[in-house]
Structure 1
Amino acid sequence: MEAYNAAKLFTLNHFPNCLGALLAGSVVRGEATETSDLDIVIFDSNLKSAYRESVIEYGWNIEIFVHNLTSYKDFFKSDCERARPSLPKMVSEGIVIKGNEIIGPIKQKAKELLDQGPEEWSAGTIKIKRYFITDTLDDFIGSTNRAEDIFIANTLAELVSEFVLRTNRQWIGTSKWIVRALRNYDETFACQFVEAFDIFYKTGDKNKIITMVDDSLQPFGGRLFQGFSIGK
Structure 2
Amino acid sequence: MGHTKKLNPVEAAKRFIHKYYPSCQGAVLAGSVVRGEETDTSDLDIVVFDQSIPSSYRESLIDFGWPIEVFVHNSTSYKHFFEMDFKAAKPSMQRMVFEGIILKDEGIIASIKEEAKEILEKGPERWTEQLITTKRYFITDALDDFIGCKNRAEDLFIANTLAGLIHEFVLRINGRWTGSSKWVIRTLKNYDVEFTEEYVEAFDTFYKTGEKRKVIQLCEKVLDPYGGRLFEGFTLGKGDS
TM-score normalised by the shorter chain: which range applies? over 0.9
Aligned partners of 1:73, 1:143: CA distance in 2, in Å?
Answer: 45
Identity of aligned residues (%): 59
- State the shift of 1:224 in Å: 0.4
Is 1:49 equivalent to 2:79 in the alignment? no
Letter matched to residue 116 of structure 2: A
Residue in 2 aligned with 1:117? 123
Aligned partners of 2:151, 2:24: CA distance in 1, in Å?
Answer: 56
Residue in 1 aligned with 2:81? 75
3-state SS, counterpart of residue 16 of structure 2: helix
Is 1:130 equivalent to 2:136 in the alignment? yes
Residue in 2 aligned with 1:143? 149
Residue in 2 aligned with 1:94? 100
Letter matched to residue 17 of structure 1: S
- State the shift of 1:101 in Å: 2.4
3-state SS, counterpart of residue 7 of structure 1: helix
Residue in 2 aligned with 1:179? 185
Please tell me whether the aligned partners of residues 25 and 106 of structure 2 are also in contact (alpha carbons under 8 angstroms).
no
Residue in 2 aligned with 1:202? 208
- State the shift of 1:100 in Å: 6.2
Aligned partners of 1:231, 1:69: CA distance in 2, in Å?
Answer: 40
Residue in 2 aligned with 1:224? 230
Is 1:2 equivalent to 2:28 in the alignment? no
Aligned partners of 1:92, 1:30: CA distance in 2, in Å?
Answer: 15
Aligned partners of 1:97, 1:85: CA distance in 2, in Å?
Answer: 21
Gaps of 5+ in 1: none
- State the shift of 1:105 in Å: 1.1
- State the shift of 1:141 in Å: 0.5
Aligned length: 232
Aligned partners of 1:111, 1:121: CA distance in 2, in Å?
Answer: 22
Letter matched to residue 216 of structure 2: I
Gaps of 5+ in 2: 1-6
Aligned Cα root-mean-square deviation (Å): 0.8
Q: 2:43 aligns with which of 16, 37, 43?
A: 37
Aligned partners of 2:92, 2:194: CA distance in 1, in Å?
Answer: 25
1:116-154 Cα distance to aligned partner (Å, 9 max, x none)? 100100111111111010000000001111111111100
Please tell me whether the aligned partners of residues 124 and 176 of structure 2 are also in contact (alpha carbons under 8 angstroms).
yes
- State the shift of 1:47 in Å: 1.1
Aligned partners of 2:46, 2:100: CA distance in 1, in Å?
Answer: 9
Q: After the TM superposition, list the runs of 4 or more consecutive aligned residues in structure 1 that deviate by more than 3 angstroms.
A: none
TM, length-normalised to structure 2: 0.95
Q: 2:32 aligns with which of 14, 17, 26?
A: 26
